[in-house]
């Protein structure tokens, strides 16, 4: 176990909370928060209308000899359903909030490196939109086959109600690290495969960071502001660990 990278994952997550309060960044934080509130409200409403039926459906695949673990397996099934809905949320958020998160990542990097920014106008912002959307599709096509595989494994008796939820959480944490670290990488037009390869060099760090982001998403009130926090923390991680590798 790489305890140093676990500690660093905590450090960059906490750094994100400090950065969103910095002078000059607050106005770039507002739009991601608003979008987060709207999307979370929609996904929560959808979840509340479906979770009972989905839990019963998943438990129908559980063999009778595991009835004595009913409460534990029910909890794990609920966790897996929550993670499925979280995947839906992050996919929607990725497409809708990408331009605003990319802009926030740019401003955070300028603050941390003490550089002067370019006064890009609205036309420059619009020109970048196709590239940003293409990047979100790349992330979706990377994650979707793995998501489908885990979803199918979830129907295997015993395995699907015990080990798969844990794998689902680790997969979600990894995808969140990719999601938020990608904003500063994409701002510098670094190819998605290259970004992915570099993140694997600090896999424990990034999974720890993503796990903390995922955990906060399920905590009321914190879940409304965790998106810009994650963008800020991931950008600080980029500046410290990856920026020099890509110059």
Q: How confident is the model at residue 74 (pLDDT cuts 50, 70, 90)?
A: low
CB 181 within 8 A of CB 139: no
Dist. CA 42–CA 184, nearest whole Å: 28
**How confident is residue 75, by pLDDT bands cut at 50, 70 and 90?**
low
Q: How many CB atoms lie within 10 A of CB 245?
A: 11
Question: Does 162 or 212 have the greater pLDDT score?
Answer: 212
Using CA atoms, how far apart are residues 225 and 169, in angstroms rounded to an integer?
21
* Average pLDDT score over residue span 100-129: 77
> Does the structure show a pLDDT above 80 at 163?
yes
Mean pLDDT of 109-130: 72
**13 or 81: which leads in pLDDT:** 13
Please give the model's pTM, rounded to 2 decimal places.
0.80
**pLDDT value, residue 99:** 82
DSSP class of 116: P
User: Which of helix, strand or coil describes residue 197?
Assistant: helix
């Amino acid at each position: 176990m790489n305890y140093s990278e676990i500690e660093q994952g905590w450090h960059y997550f906490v750094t994100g909370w400090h950065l969103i309060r910095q002078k000059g960044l607050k106005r770039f934080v507002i739009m991601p928060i608003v979008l987060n509130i709207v999307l979370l409200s929609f996904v929560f409403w959808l979840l509340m209308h479906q979770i009972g039926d989905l839990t019963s459906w998943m438990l129908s695949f559980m063999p009778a000899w595991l009835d004595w673990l009913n409460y534990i397996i029910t909890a794990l099934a609920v966790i897996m359903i929550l993670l499925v809905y979280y995947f839906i949320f992050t996919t929607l958020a990725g497409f809708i909030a990408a331009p605003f998160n990319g802009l926030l990542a740019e401003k955070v990097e300028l603050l941390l490196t003490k550089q002067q920014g370019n006064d890009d106008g609205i036309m420059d912002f619009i020109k970048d939109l196709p590239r940003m959307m293409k990047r979100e599709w790349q992330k979706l096509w990377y994650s979707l086959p793995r998501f489908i595989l885990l979803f199918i494994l979830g129907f295997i008796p015993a395995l699907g109600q015990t080990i798969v939820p844990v794998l689902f959480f680790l997969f979600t944490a990894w995808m969140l690290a990719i999601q938020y670290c990608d904003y500063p990488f994409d701002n510098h037009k670094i190819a998605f495969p290259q970004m992915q390869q570099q993140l694997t060099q600090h896999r424990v760090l990034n999974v720890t960071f993503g796990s903390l982001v995922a955990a906060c998403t399920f905590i009321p009130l914190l879940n409304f502001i965790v998106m810009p926090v994650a963008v800020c923390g991931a950008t600080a991680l980029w500046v410290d660990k990856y920026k020099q590798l890509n110059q």
